[in-house]
Structures are given as C-alpha cells and as structure tokens.
Amino acid sequence: MKRVGVIGGGQLALMMAGAAQKLGIQLVVQTPSPNDPAITIASETIFAPIEDAAATAKLATRCDLITFENEFVNLEALSPLVAQGVFFRPGLQVLSPLLDKYDQRCYLKQLDLPIPKFVALDWNDIGGIEELLLQAQLQFPVVLKARRHGYDGQGTFIVQDIDALKQRLESYFTQQKFQSLFLLEEFIPFERELAVIAARSSAGEIVTYPIVETQQELQVCRRVLVPADISRTVTAEIEAIAHTLLNSLQAVGVFGIELFLTPDGKVLVNEIAPRTHNSGHFTLDACQTSQFEQHLRAVCDLPLGNPALTCEGAVMVNLLGYECAENEYLVKRQQISRIPRSHVHWYGKSESRPGRKLGHVTVLLDTWNRTEAAAIAQIIESLWYGVE
C-alpha cells in the first residue's frame, strides 16, 4: 500500500480521503492543529507548522512521496531534503516560479501567455509610485496583491486612486505586518471569470476538466457554473494555455488555472494554483474522476482518469461563514440537502468566521441552462445566509 504525505490538513486534504481509499493509498498529514479537517481521515498525523522543514523530514520517513495541499511552504528550507532523497510531487522546481505572485507573472510572461500588465512594488517604491505606474503603463483602478500567502481575497485590493494606494501600503507597514512585497497589476474589466483544472502525469499525459465560470464576491469564490458558456475558440485557447504551462513546468499533479474573459473575447491568465482547487470541487460529484483522485493518480504514477462530466451540467456553491460562531449549521445543511440531486460537503471546522469556507454543495443538472443554474445557486444561498 502506497503512503502519501500531505503538507497541509485543510479541506483539500480532507477531500482526498475517498479517492485514497479507492486507490489503496494511506494519507500521512503534516498540519499544526488537531482541529484541522484532514485529521479525521489521516492514517497518521505529524502536528507541526506547514513550513517546519524538520517536521517534513520526519514526514518523509513515514511515506513514499510528499505532496502539497497549499502553497504556504518554505522552498528554501525544504531544498536540503531533496538532496537527501525526499520525493516531492509536484517538485520544488515546479513550485519555485509559482508561489510568489510576481515571479508567477514573470514566468507566464516568459511563456508568452496572455496576462495583465504588472509591476513589482515594495516599501522603497512608495515615494515614486507615480513614476512606477507610468513606466508600467498602469492606470487607475489597479489591483494590489500581496506576493505571498494571499488566498480567498486576503491580500488582494482594488485601488481607485494614488491616495488610496499609498494609504493601503502605509497601513501594512504601520501595523507591522510581515508582507512587504507586493504586485501591482492592471485591473481587467472582465465579462466573466473562468477556471480550468488540469492534470499532468510523469509520462507527460495531460487531461483537462470542463472549463467553468466562477463568480466571486469580495474576491472570494461564491459559486461555480459547470460548464462555462463559452465558444469553442475560447475553450481551445484555454486548453492550449493549460498544456503550455504544465509541459513547460514538467509538472506532475493537478493544477488550478484562473482566467479572465474580456467583453471582446480575449483570455487572460489571472492566477495559477499548483494543487487541487476550489473551482474543481464539482468534480467530486459531477465527473467520472474527481480532481482529488486525479491528483493522487498523477503523483503515484497511476494512469490518469477520465475527467468527463457524468451529467449535463452542475452548479457548486461555497458555504461561507457569515458570523463568528461555533455552529454545525445542521438545520441549514439538512434544508439544502433536500434540493434534488444535491450533494452537501461539510468540512468539519469547529469555528465559523466571515468568509471562511465551511463546506460546499454541488447540484447536478439534467439539462444545462445558465439561468437555471444561477437560480439554484440563489436558492442555496437564501437557505444558507437566511435566518434559521
């Protein structure tokens, strides 16, 4: 039986459980808290911070290979382990150009993939921001992003003018936050946000899942419509982007690729996640092979599975925290589960706070209609965010 180490014990690791059992794989998890979701499914757990390389060395003695549930890792600290024979998938050299958002932008530019205009920004630039914007050909509004550790809208801000930009930067430093490096990029007035999950094997085989439309609020994904209502031309362009990226990286595993579609039909890459991704949660219930099974297949050198839909369409809605509380929300989950062909996934987190991902629900559709899918999402959200 193969043993796979997973750095990170959140819901992405939790959702590997069913696939691991199916494939005869044991999961050994490194995570800091006994309350983390994946504790319940791990065959063994090492309680340590994600970036603790000494703990990862211990993890390596208890598994055949190590994969990642998130990007909060210290590649420099892990590099000596590679020299000692520790096997990471995806490899550290694959993660290296992707974890820092500025490095990621530079890498995509080298590949000649379509991206927004961008420039690096740090504290030393604060006095000359106007000149920096001019050189980068950026105009307000602009998007300010923390280069590391930003997720679910954290560390991402749409800034309307120079005063707001300076105020935002100064607030970071006066509050003594650790983030001091930023990415400043063009604001894209997109028509839709899209995403695709793609997987690559060590033999170079690539499969892509149906491209989806993601709908965000406050930079957090609220719902996913499957498949996206886009042209064959746009579909082919996005699939080509996925192939170019994964082949260039020589990646092994599942990657999430977020994109913008502009009103004139132009596709731009937004961000790359070198792991399973929220936009692919629908695959658990709507596809022949889930993204979680696909990832384990790729990293364990098993044949890749079929990513095709088993239904005409689906809608996935994230169940986000809207209050600070300790609550299982059982009544609301039961109400949502009565929706025909619904599948409710609960992550078992002990505390709720605004914006925290507590679970998700996927509803399978017999016919694909974007309006119908949006209406179902609205029903789910009215049940979830309404008063019990």
Distance CA 212, CA 230 (A): 9
- CATH classification number, 117-186, choose in 1.20.1090.10, 3.30.1490.20, 3.40.1120.10, 3.40.50.800: 3.30.1490.20
Q: What contacts 26, CB < 8 A, 6 or more positions away?
A: 1, 2, 3, 4, 20, 43, 44, 63
CB 309 within 8 A of CB 284: no
Give the Cβ contact number of residue 162 at 10 Å.
13
Each of the 388 residues of the chain gets a pLDDT tens digit; together they read 799 999 999 999 999 999 999 999 999 999 999 999 999 999 999 999 999 999 999 999 999 999 999 988 899 999 999 999 999 999 999 999 999 999 999 999 999 999 999 999 887 777 788 899 999 999 999 999 988 876 656 788 899 999 999 888 887 766 655 556 899 999 999 999 999 999 999 999 999 999 999 999 888 899 999 999 999 999 999 999 999 999 999 999 999 999 999 999 999 999 999 999 999 999 999 999 999 999 999 999 999 999 999 999 999 999 999 999 999 999 999 999 999 999 999 999 989 999 999 999 999 999 999 999 999 999 999 999 985 4
CB 105 within 8 A of CB 185: yes
Question: Where is 156: in which H helix or E strand?
Answer: strand 156-159
Distance CA 128, CA 136 (A): 13
Q: Is CATH 3.40.50.360 what the domain over 2-88 is classified as, yes or no? A: no
Domain ranges of the chain: 2-88, 117-186, 192-385
- At 122 the pLDDT is 80
User: How distant, in Å, are the alpha carbons of 58, 72, 218, 317, 369 from that of 215?
Assistant: 40, 25, 10, 10, 16
φ, ψ of residue 218 to 5 degrees: the values are: 55, 40
Say if residue 346 is exposed, middle or buried (CB neighbours under 10 Å; 0-12, 13-18, 19+): middle
- CATH classification number, 192-385, choose in 3.40.640.10, 3.30.300.30, 3.40.190.290, 3.30.470.20: 3.30.470.20
Distance CA 12, CA 67 (A): 12
Q: Looking up tokens 């994109």, which residue turns up? A: 259
Evaluate if pTM is beyond 0.85: yes
